[in-house]
A and B are shown apart, each in its own frame.
Chain A
Amino acid sequence: MHEGAKNLTYHSEQLVRELNEISRDLRLDVLEMIHRRGQGHPGGSLSAAEIVAALYFHHLRIDSSLPDWPERDRFILSKGHACALLYAALARRKFFPKEELQTWGHLGGRLQGHPDRLKTPGIDMSSGMEGHGVPVGVGLCLAARLKGLRYRVYVLVGDGECQGGVLWEGAMIASKYKISELVVIVDNNNVQLDGPVHEILPLNPLVDKWKAFNFATLEINGHDTQQVLGALDAAEEIHDKPTVIIAHTTKGKGVSFMENQAKWHGLAPNDEEYVRAVSELKGGLKE
């Protein structure tokens, strides 16, 4: 367990087991979608499965029958390339029919190559170009204050995304206005498109950077559902500053040959690889 994760709230084993099963199912959905389409980003989708499962199947106050409910919690997938994961979660939460996942990337369909708020029910903000989620989240939180609404905003960013300046501008603004309704989650999988983050442009000390920007920081194992749930709860208890959850994850998590490999950032598995990946994931939960 990472430093900072020691005093987190405890959730029942049953909930954790259920969410782990959902995480596995989301991973299977993601691989099926990417394999079917022959396009997509498996690495950064697989690394965030527990985070998205904890948010969409437990933590977020959302209602698929009211996708525009003004008081709903907002989720911004700032690392928009992981949209297969989000689409799968939205389909399983019945924002649209699950069969529609098969139309991902089809011309005229509602599921674009990156999230599009105008086309897909349940998408709170269009994304795709890295770096927008944090400042957009700040604006959403400022609007909530002005309107007297109590929603919270969750922004999932990649670690590579933390190389861009706009994210840090947004972080400064969040600090200025003490936006405690904003929770940034870093999917810290250590690998970006071109290679390991520490080789392309080192980020460490990443936690200290966020501390220096006056964020409350929580550091967890992003594949440990108990810790993910605990950190999301802990962030709700912080009332004087925004929170960042640094979730240490593994790129391509759950598929041995994809793990920690930059080549699987944006590559679809062939038929043989897909069969292997599915068999590994289906075996994974029995351990």
Chain B
Amino acid sequence: MMKKISVRKAYGEALADYGAVNPKVVVVVADVSSSVFTSFFADRFPKRFFNVGITEQSMVDVAAGLALGGMIPFANTFATLFLRALEQIRTCVAYAKTNVKIVGGYSGLSDFKDGPSHHTEADIAIMRSFPNMTVMEAADAFEVKKMVPLVAEHDGPVYLRISRADMPVLFDDNHEVEIGKSSIVRDGNDVTFIASGMMVSRCLEASKILAEKAIDARLINMYSIKPLDISAVEKAAEETGAIVTAEEHSVIGGLGGAVTETLSNKCMVPIERIGIADIFTETALTHEELLDYYGMGVENIVEAAQRAIRRKRR
């Protein structure tokens, strides 16, 4: 069993630590600071912390104003609640190209206990369709720790997607992230998993099962969903001939969409997409149980890989 660490807590700690390094960093939050752990930043830098109450739309606009004034605002609420502020994000952040970091917490199904109102299945699809927007998702606590300075120092709008879950540890302090890049977690030549967030560790488990069946799977952690690491995707298609995308998001328009769009331009190979089918999910007692129930289980991933391999042999 892999060790697990809270990704949201790691984000909160990283943000507070980076706040000490970079005095331009400010935090705005819509009444969820003890949930997404921007409270750590608030404790250390109260003058650079603005809790604006349940005003997600205004929060985004306030962040845009802070950016116009030369600060680097991190705007925080649950990923679903940012959907309320999409016009603000499009007009005042993406279009106006303000240096705002939109941090969507409790992403995917990770707020399992609060049910479908709190689940997020559409955020990546929407955010990646906005020009100027960079979209990233962290696969573990070490990765999010590296992402905070990266996105802060990137000049431009970023959507950073963060799970509520304690996620299996994949990396360590030597892990490196770069916008537009990805990391290879496991190399292989029979099929490639292209995964983000929570699904990276699940794909790693699936690849171990596949290895027992003499199938050698490559696993790409596609933490930069936009810009996508196109060369890694094309290389995987060419070298392994079959792709399985895996994300804790709708199968429409997210990472699977991005990979499929990319390959359609160059080298089409069999692609299987793991994610939430086009349905609203339900409440459950655990996050893991929800992922399994909605087709994002390790078994589902193994089967998808086998299907993809069968399709390329036709």
Contacts and interface: CB of A to CB of B under 8 A. Distances in A.
Nearest to B63: A139
A162 B25 CA distance: 31
A146 B96 contact: no
B129 to A, nearest CB: 17
Contacts of A144: 69
A156 B300 CA distance: 55
B92 A132 contact: yes
Interface string A127-156: 111001011111111111011010000000
Interface in B35-92: 47-48, 50, 52-53, 55, 57-59, 61-71, 73, 87-88, 91-92
B97 interface: yes
B280 interface: no
Contact of A125 (B58, B59, B62, B68): B68
B96 to A, nearest CB: 4
B68 A124 contact: yes
Interface stretch (A39-47, A164-172, A198-206, A212-220): A164-172
A136 B55 CA distance: 13
Contacts of A147: 69-71
Size range of the chain A interface in the assembly: 20 to 34
Given A70-B70, A128-B91, A135 B62 contact: yes
A149 B68 CA distance: 13
Contacts of B61: 132, 134-136, 138-139, 166, 170
A139 B97 contact: no
Given A126-B91, A132-B92, A143-B70, A172 B65 contact: no
Contacts of A137: 65
B26 interface: yes
A117 interface: yes
B95 interface: yes
Interface in B130-144: none
Given A136-B64, A139-B63, A140-B66, A146 B71 contact: yes
Given A118-B97, A173-B55, A139 B48 contact: no
Specify which of B58, B65, B70 lies most central, judged by the most chain A CB atoms within 10 Å of its CB. Answer: B65
Contacts of A142: 26, 50, 62, 65-66, 69, 71
Contacts of A125: 64-65, 68, 92, 96
A170 B62 contact: yes
B70 A166 contact: no
Contact of B64 (A118, A139, A146, A149): A139
Contacts of A176: 52
B96 A117 contact: yes
Contacts of B50: 142, 173, 177
B87 A173 contact: no
A273 B97 CA distance: 39
Contacts of A118: 96-97
Contacts of A74: 68
B164 to A, nearest CB: 25
Contacts of B67: 139, 143
B87 A139 contact: no
A245 to B, nearest CB: 20
A117 B64 CA distance: 12
Interface of A: 70, 74, 117-118, 124-129, 132, 134-144, 146-147, 149, 165-166, 169-170, 172-173, 176-177
Given A132-B61, A132-B64, A135-B65, 20 more contacts: A118-B96, A126-B92, A132-B88, A135-B58, A139-B62, A139-B66, A141-B65, A142-B66, A143-B26, A143-B67, A143-B70, A144-B69, A146-B26, A147-B70, A165-B57, A166-B88, A169-B58, A172-B55, A173-B53, A173-B55
21 contacts: A124-B68, A125-B65, A126-B95, A126-B96, A127-B91, A132-B88, A134-B61, A135-B55, A136-B65, A136-B92, A139-B67, A140-B68, A141-B69, A143-B67, A143-B68, A143-B71, A147-B69, A165-B57, A166-B61, A172-B53, A176-B52
